[in-house]
Amino acid sequence: MKKCLFYLSVIVMALFMVVAPAFAKTYIVGTSADFPPFEYIEKGQIVGFDIDLIKAIAESQGIKVEFQDISFDSLIPGLNAGTIDIVASGMTITEERAKVVDFTEPYYSANQAVLVKEGGGKNVTVLFGDHKLAVQTGTTGDLWVEENLEKTGILKGKVTRFDTFVLAIQDLLNGNVDGVVLDTPVAQRYAAENPVVMVAEIITGEEYGFAVAKGNKELLEKLNKGLEEVKASGKMDELLKKYF
Ligand code: ARG
């Protein structure tokens, strides 16, 4: 009888081990895939440094992740509504955002930059006077332009706010705007691949973190632990080398 029970429990355990992973929660990672080399679309797939980094963290913590491409200003509302679980989108850790979401430890540093069209004769003065600028809605670049240029009246021209940087750069190439304000590493990447040039860096001293819903301690701890492990194993360096 005892033996019978023993075999039965072994069978139940084995069954559980086969079935459980199928029920393991898959975390939905939200990203705005217009931000190379952090997240962008290549051959119809969402790829990039953030994507590989989250995948490596997930692997180290034994969790599953799936990616969703959504506009940047919908990411924090998505976390709060529970439609996504993690934001991996080159998101700067700011005091304002940290009031409504929780951030991991920082994983990358950046500043803001100004891009103009190559050969158009424009320079850093696009930030002043009667010039037109483009930004991505809800980004730190958007806020910087609003606080420092619009509210102060330094800039008199219009600021167009786009859902994606792809559209903002397109408008710059089309000559509809004079400059785009965006994060330095991404400005450099766009400049390397398009006829646009970086004419200024604005030292804002930003740091990127992954975000989870406020109070989701369990997931935040997993991400922080994973981040540490990915750094310690040398995988982080490997990804930095691959993308930068
Ligand atoms: N670092 C900036 C911010 O947090 C810009 C991030 C934009 N990210 C993106 N995937 N488009 O506002």
Atom of ligand 1 nearest to the CA of 91: 4
Nearest to 39 by CA among 89, 106, 103: 89
- Pick the atom of ligand 1 nearest to 165's CA: 11
User: How remote is the CA of residue 223 from the centroid of ligand 1, in Å?
Assistant: 19
pLDDT at 132: 98
Q: Would the CB of 89 count as within 6 Å of ligand 1?
A: yes
Nearby residues of 90 by Cβ (< 8 Å), 6 or more positions away: 35, 38, 39, 50, 108, 110, 183, 186, 208
88 inside domain: yes
For the whole model, what pTM was predicted?
Answer: 0.91
Query: Would residue 201 count as lying in a domain?
Result: yes
Residues near 223 by beta carbon (within 8 Å), at least 6 away in sequence: 57, 61, 86, 104, 210, 212
Structural domain contains residue 3: no
Domain shared by 79 and 124, yes or no: no
Which tokens go with 6? 């023993």
Beta strands across the sheet bearing 159-162:
159-162, 133-136, 179-183, 108-117, 196-208
Do both 118 and 198 map to the same domain? yes
State how many domains the chain has. 2
Do residue 231 and residue 172 come from a single domain?
no
Residue 1 belongs to some domain of the structure: no
The letter for the amino acid at 191 is A
State whether 191 and 142 are in the same domain: yes
Structural tokens at position 48: 């990039």
Distance 64 CA to ligand 1 centre (A): 24
Cα(31) to ligand 1 centroid in Å equals: 9
pLDDT in tens, 37-89: 999 999 999 999 999 999 999 999 999 999 999 999 999 999 999 999 999 99
- Ligand 1 atom index nearest CA of 143: 12
216 and 197 in a single domain? The answer is no
Task: Kindly state whether residues 184 and 214 are assigned to the same domain.
Answer: no
3-state DSSP assignment of residue 151: coil
183 lines ligand 1 (CB under 6 A): yes
Specify whether 140 is located in the same domain as 99: no
The chain-wide mean pLDDT, for the chain, equals 94
Q: Could you read off the pLDDT of 145-203 as tens digits, one per residue? A: 999 999 999 999 999 999 999 999 999 999 999 999 999 999 999 999 999 999 999 99
- 21 and 87 belong to one structural domain: yes
- Residue 90 Cα, ligand 1 centroid: separation in angstroms? 5
2 domain residue, yes or no: no
The answer for residues whose C-beta is within 8 angstroms of residue 86's C-beta and 6 or more apart is 27, 28, 29, 30, 54, 65, 79, 210, 211, 212, 219, 223
Please check whether residue 157 lies inside any domain of the structure. Answer: yes
Instruction: Return the axis-axis angle of helices 217-232 and 49-61, rounded to nearest 10°.
Output: 100
Indicate if 91 and 17 belong to the same structural domain.
yes
Q: Is the CB of 72 under 6 A from ligand 1?
A: yes
Domain that residue 20 falls in: 8-107+209-243
Residues 122, 192: one domain? yes
Distance 165 CA to ligand 1 centre (A): 9
Residues 103 and 116 in one domain: no
pLDDT digits (tens, 9 = 90+) for 15-45: 555 555 556 789 999 999 999 999 999 999 9
The answer to whether residue 163 is domain-embedded is yes
Please check whether residue 12 lies inside any domain of the structure. Answer: yes
3-state secondary structure of 181: strand
User: Which atom of ligand 1 is closest in space to residue 38's alpha carbon?
Assistant: 10
Helix (H, G, I), strand (E, B) or coil at 41: strand
Query: pLDDT by residue (tens digit) across 139-159?
Result: 999 999 999 999 999 999 999
Ligand 1 touching residue 35 (CB < 6 A): yes
Check if 145 has its Cβ closer than 6 Å to any atom of ligand 1. no
* Whole-angstrom distance, CA of residue 172 vs CA of residue 131: 12
In the beta sheet, which residues pair with residue 101?
213
Q: What is residue 25's predicted lDDT score, i.e. its pLDDT?
A: 87
Give the CATH number, domain containing residue 178: 3.40.190.10
- Going from the Cα of 240 to the center of ligand 1, the distance in angstroms, rounded, reads 18
In terms of domains, do 65 and 181 share one?
no
Q: How does residue 7 score in pLDDT terms, banded at 50, 70 and 90?
A: low
Of ligand 1's listed atoms, the one at least distance from the Cα of 208 is 1
